[in-house]
Each structure stands twice: as structure tokens, then as C-alpha cells.
Amino acid sequence: MSNLNAAWPAAARTETTHRGTAPLPRRAPAASFANGEPGPPPAPTAPRLVQAAGAALQHELTALRQRLPGIRGCVLATVDGLLVGQDLTRGCEPHDMAVLAASVFGVGRQCGLGLRQGSFRETSVRSDLGSFTVYTVTDSALLAVLTDDGLDMGWVHREARPVAQRIAALLPAPE
């Protein structure tokens, strides 16, 4: 492990996390030009989905968060973990939440397929301080909702499922 860790630049390593274990190292951006200058900035996240949905998408995410006290935020992400849209008040970085939504989707999809239960629809993860629920919007988009502990999950499902359907209607048809 020490040989692998030594291969990473010192700036990309940290000593410990809050639990005393070393986090995964992060790579520094690679230079793509011969003179060592960084390459062009990364492409915007899921531009086709963002352009298609626009203000209506943001309205749906904001309205969901405002309708239910105890929702900390909502994220629309691709199944690959790219952030499409977000409305978060506190508690999580939106890009991290998009990646986690894609990870939860991947596990849920494999469970459904492996157990011959059909396509993924939704999954909830309950923790000490709240819940994280991921809903399928389309074959390529996910809605993730982060809630405080104690919020009635039946209420969350009754509100979030129709929002996922309305968002699906806003997004372009698959190519």
C-alpha cells in the first residue's frame, strides 16, 4: 500500500479521515499539451439533459424540497453519476450525491436482475441521521432525495414518485 500511495503527488494525499483511515488518493489533473499546460476544461455535466429541461426541471426539484419539511435536497443525475440538476440546502456536495445515486442504482439494478424481479424502480438507504432514496426517472436519469431522520418515507414516496414522472416528461427521448 505504501508503494501505491508514494506514486501519488503529495498534494493529492491526506493523512487521515475522521475515522482514522486513509482516504482514496485523488489524481491531479493530467496535462494534455506538450508544454505541460492543462487541457481544456471538462465538458459541462449532461448538457443535453440540462438544456432540454431548463427552468421546469429546477422548479420541480425546488417544489419537492419545499413541499416536505425534512427534505435536505434533491438531485437529478445520470445513471453514470453526472450531475444534471440540484436543489440542496445543506449536508452534501451535489456531485457526490449524483455519484452515490448512480452507485445505489447499479446495486439495485443488479439485485433486480439477479433475483429476476425486473427493472430497478427505487431504493432507500436509511442511516442514523436520515435517508437517501433513489428513483428511476428514465433509462438514463435518476432522482435522488436526501431526507432528515424521522420523516415519513411513505410521504416522501407519495411526493417524489410523481415528480420523477413529471421530470421524465421534461427530458428528451433517448437517441
Which pLDDT does position 56 carry in this prediction? 87
Which pLDDT does position 73 carry in this prediction? 92
Least confident of 10-14, 36-40, 64-68, 93-97: 10-14
Which pLDDT does position 48 carry in this prediction? 54
Helix H or strand E encompassing 59: helix 47-67
- The percentage of residues in the chain with a pLDDT greater than 90, rounded to a whole number, is 54
The model's pLDDT over 64-91, given as tens digits with 9 standing for 90+, comes to: 999 998 999 999 999 999 999 999 987 6
Of 18, 49, 64, 80, the C-alpha closest to 160 is 64
Rounded Cα–Cα distance for residues 36 and 156 (Å):
50
pLDDT band at 47 (very low <50, low <70, confident <90, very high): low
Give the pTM: 0.70
* Residue 92 near residue 73 (C-beta atoms within 8 A): yes
Q: Which residue has the cell 483511515?
A: 21
Rounded Cα–Cα distance for residues 85 and 49 (Å):
9
Order of all β-strands in the sheet with 130-136? 83-88, 71-78, 141-148, 130-136, 122-127
As a whole number, mean pLDDT of residues 33-48 equals 47
The structural domains of the chain, ordered by start, are 1-41 (no CATH), 47-170 (3.30.450.30)
Which pLDDT does position 121 carry in this prediction? 92
Cα angle 80, 10, 93 (rounded to 5 degrees) comes to 35
Of 164, 151, 150, 174, the C-alpha closest to 75 is 164
* Residue 128 near residue 156 (C-beta atoms within 8 A): no
Question: In the predicted model, is pLDDT for residue 19 greater than 70?
Answer: no
